[in-house]
């Protein structure tokens, strides 16, 4: 699928998005959220609808918790806190691929640890035209709203969906891209297996082959082999981790460069 075709298909999604996501909300949405937040679908984005490569689905803001405080002039002023709703974002980048992401509900004094979750990276925009995919994205958006909102009432399924997102998807925290937790867990498991598990196997082999020999010299020589093997494996793992970090940084730089060009 070439760039021109990707842009054409995304424009179809762009033109259908308001009707589709409002229909989905009417079918699956909850009155509680609808009555408190303003639900909107904005092709082009909420800031004037000027971006032809961006679609935004979101709950608006609500006011809460009026209180009084002293300003810098030592005057008593009334202040109302604001909570902003969650957002489901579709952003087509320069090469025609689409980033699908979620941003949480937040207020000035309380917000989740993550600033954004990368929900999907779509290389074929035809995927976005499928209603079941749109419903899937919307349900993640709805669950994320209920979990991160101050007034949300998430059920077990909502909490599971958000746990899955935070475990298996890439997060943005403090404006930095954080690898999925599951990836870190698997990397540590592999490292453990290749170091501790491998050295344990070598020790078992050492005990087997040293039977009936003069252990004094043989033990020392073979222990040196084990130590060297562990050192080489640890170095290889560190090099691979460093390579992965560099690759992630290069991808991020390419992404920034493409956005600037666009």
Q: Residue ranges per domain, the chain?
A: 3-178, 181-261
Measured between its terminal Cα atoms, the distance across the chain in Å is 19
The span from the CA of 8 to the CA of 85, in Å, is: 30
The per-residue pLDDT for range 1-42, each reduced to its tens digit, is: 899 999 999 999 999 999 999 999 999 988 878 778 889 999
Identify whether the C-beta of residue 90 lies closer than 8 Å to the C-beta of residue 103: no
Beta-bridge mates of residue 101 = 89, 118
Angle between helices 131-148 and 156-168 (to 10 degrees): 100
Q: Which residue has the higher pLDDT, 166 or 61?
A: 166
Q: Judge residue 9's burial from the number of C-beta atoms within 10 Å of its C-beta, 0-12 exposed, 13-18 middle, 19 or more buried.
A: buried
Helices (H) and strands (E) in the chain, counts: 7, 10
Say yes or no to pLDDT of 167 above 60: yes
pLDDT band at 137 (very low <50, low <70, confident <90, very high): very high
pLDDT score of 260: 44
Say yes or no to pLDDT of 186 above 60: no
Mean pLDDT computed over every residue of the chain: 80
The per-residue pLDDT for range 192-247, each reduced to its tens digit, is: 555 555 555 655 555 555 555 555 455 555 555 555 555 555 555 555 555 555 55
pTM of the predicted model as reported, rounded to 2 decimal places: 0.69
pLDDT score of 261: 44
pLDDT score of 81: 86
């Amino acid at each position: 699928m070439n760039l021109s075709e990707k842009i054409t298909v995304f424009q179809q999604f762009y033109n259908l998005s308001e009707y589709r996501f409002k229909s989905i909300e009417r079918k699956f949405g909850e009155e509680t959220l609808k009555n408190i937040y303003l639900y909107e679908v904005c092709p082009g984005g909420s800031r004037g609808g000027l971006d032809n490569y961006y679609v935004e689905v979101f709950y608006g803001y609500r006011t809460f918790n009026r209180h009084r405080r002293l300003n810098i002039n030592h005057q008593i002023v009334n202040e109302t806190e604001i909570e902003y709703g969650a957002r489901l974002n579709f952003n087509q980048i320069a090469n025609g691929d689409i980033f699908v992401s979620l941003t949480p509900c937040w207020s000035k004094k309380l917000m989740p640890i993550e600033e954004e979750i990368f929900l999907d990276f779509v290389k074929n925009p035809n995927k976005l035209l499928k209603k079941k995919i749109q419903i899937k994205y919307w349900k993640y958006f709805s669950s994320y709203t209920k979990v991160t909102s101050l007034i949300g009432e998430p059920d077990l399924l909502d909490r599971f969906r958000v746990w899955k997102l935070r475990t298996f998807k890439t997060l943005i925290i403090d404006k930095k891209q954080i690898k999925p937790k599951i990836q870190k867990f698997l990397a540590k498991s592999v490292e453990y297996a290749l170091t501790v598990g491998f050295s344990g196997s070598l020790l078992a082999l050492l005990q087997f082959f040293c039977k009936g020999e003069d252990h004094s010299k043989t033990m020392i020589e073979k222990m040196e082999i084990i130590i060297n093997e562990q050192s080489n494996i640890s170095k290889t793992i560190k090099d691979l981790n460093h390579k992965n970090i560099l690759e992630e940084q290069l991808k991020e730089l390419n992404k920034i460069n493409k956005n600037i060009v666009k």
